[in-house]
């Protein structure tokens, strides 16, 4: 999609966003977040099983080579459920309670376990499009908790197990796990609430993402990983 067109749409999204355009949000603005938080222990139980094979999980850049500008080591791993119309049915079968919870999220676009190794730093970057907002549900947050945080623009958020944080990843953001433990969140992108008729324009742009080389390559890489991973079970 042409950069000029996306820039124009982003301006319309900002002007018509139902919750304004801050870098971070009060999760209470999205009533469904509380419903997701209620399920966190069930999700955590499924995560614990996934983490038994943590070293075999794909590094983020193994699936999406475009992120090599910010990620080159083996310390950011992922377990993907869905991404812009591409779904891992096998991963969802392995985590049925998580799958049920994801159905509670309106406008869900992306969902996966985001797994950071101890002392991992993700440098400053920004997302490609402001038509989605991001939820991080804390599942495994090591101590000292204040050393496990994310900066979004000038705001700093600290994860807490069982609690969600919501932010706009199109703002410059940066992540630290300055602890000796593993940090895991359920990482979700959902459609940003936008006033009519610009919500339709936003839906159109998001629906076209599945056709981009970025999404198609990531899906192909995910399928190759699944074949190897589940063959070894």
What's the pLDDT score for residue 65?
76
Q: In terms of Cα–Cα distance, which of 229, 200, 222, 192 is closest to 85?
A: 222
Q: In terms of Cα–Cα distance, which of 220, 215, 194, 201 is closest to 110?
A: 215
Q: In terms of Cα–Cα distance, which of 197, 208, 196 is closest to 109?
A: 208
Window from 99-108, 151-160, 188-197, 202-211 with minimum mean pLDDT: 202-211
How many C-beta atoms lie closer than 10 Å to residue 20's C-beta?
Answer: 8
Q: What is the mean pLDDT of residues 82-89?
A: 92
d(CA 146, CA 149): 7
Structural contact between residues 152 and 23, judged by C-beta atoms closer than 8 angstroms: yes
Tell whether the model's pLDDT for residue 78 goes beyond 60.
yes
Kindly state the helix (H) or strand (E) to which residue 171 belongs, with its residue range.
none
Q: In terms of Cα–Cα distance, which of 135, 208, 192 is closest to 13?
A: 192
**C-alpha count within 13 angstroms, C-beta hemisphere, residue 206:** 25
**pLDDT tens sequence across 154-165:** 999 999 999 999
Coil, strand or helix: which one is 160? coil
Tell whether the model's pLDDT for residue 174 goes beyond 70.
yes
What's the pLDDT score for residue 74?
92
Domains of the chain, with CATH numbers? 20-231 (2.60.120.330)
Does the global pTM surpass 0.75?
A: yes
Give backbone dihedrals phi and psi of 81, rounded to 5 degrees, phi first: -105, -45
d(CA 114, CA 103): 19
The proportion of the chain whose per-residue pLDDT surpasses 70, expressed as a percent, equals 99
What count of residues does the chain have? 233
Tell whether the model's pLDDT for residue 3 goes beyond 90.
no
Rg (the chain; Cα; Å): 17
Confidence of residue 85 (pLDDT cuts 50, 70, 90): confident
Confidence of residue 233 (pLDDT cuts 50, 70, 90): low
Confidence of residue 1 (pLDDT cuts 50, 70, 90): low
DSSP-assigned beta bridge partners for residue 114: 78, 185
Tell whether the model's pLDDT for residue 66 goes beyond 80.
no
d(CA 73, CA 5): 34
How many C-beta atoms lie closer than 10 Å to residue 120's C-beta?
Answer: 21
Tell whether the model's pLDDT for residue 214 goes beyond 90.
no
The most distant pair of C-alpha atoms in the chain lies apart, rounded to whole Å, by 50
């Amino acid at each position: 999609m042409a950069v000029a067109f996306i820039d124009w749409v982003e301006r319309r999204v900002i002007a018509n966003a139902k919750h304004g355009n801050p870098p971070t949000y009060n999760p209470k603005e999205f009533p469904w977040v509380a419903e997701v938080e209620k399920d966190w222990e069930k999700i955590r139980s499924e995560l614990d099983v996934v983490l038994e094979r943590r070293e075999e999980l794909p590094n983020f850049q193994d699936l999406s080579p475009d992120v090599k500008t910010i990620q080159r080591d083996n310390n950011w791993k992922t377990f993907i459920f869905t991404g812009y119309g591409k779904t891992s049915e096998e991963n969802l079968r392995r985590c049925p309670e998580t799958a049920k919870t994801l159905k509670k999220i309106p406008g869900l676009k992306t969902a996966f376990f985001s797994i950071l190794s101890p002392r991992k730093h993700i440098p400053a970057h920004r997302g490609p499009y402001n038509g989605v907002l991001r939820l991080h549900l804390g599942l495994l947050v090591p101590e000292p908790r204040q050393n496990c945080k994310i900066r979004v623009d000038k705001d700093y958020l600290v994860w807490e197990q069982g609690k969600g944080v919501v932010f706009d990843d199109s703002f410059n953001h940066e992540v630290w796990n300055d602890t000796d433990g593993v940090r895991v969140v359920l990482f979700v992108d959902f459609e940003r609430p936008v006033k009519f008729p610009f919500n339709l324009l936003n839906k159109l742009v998001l629906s076209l993402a599945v056709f981009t080389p970025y999404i198609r390559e990531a899906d192909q890489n995910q399928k190759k990983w699944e074949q190897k991973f589940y063959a070894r079970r």
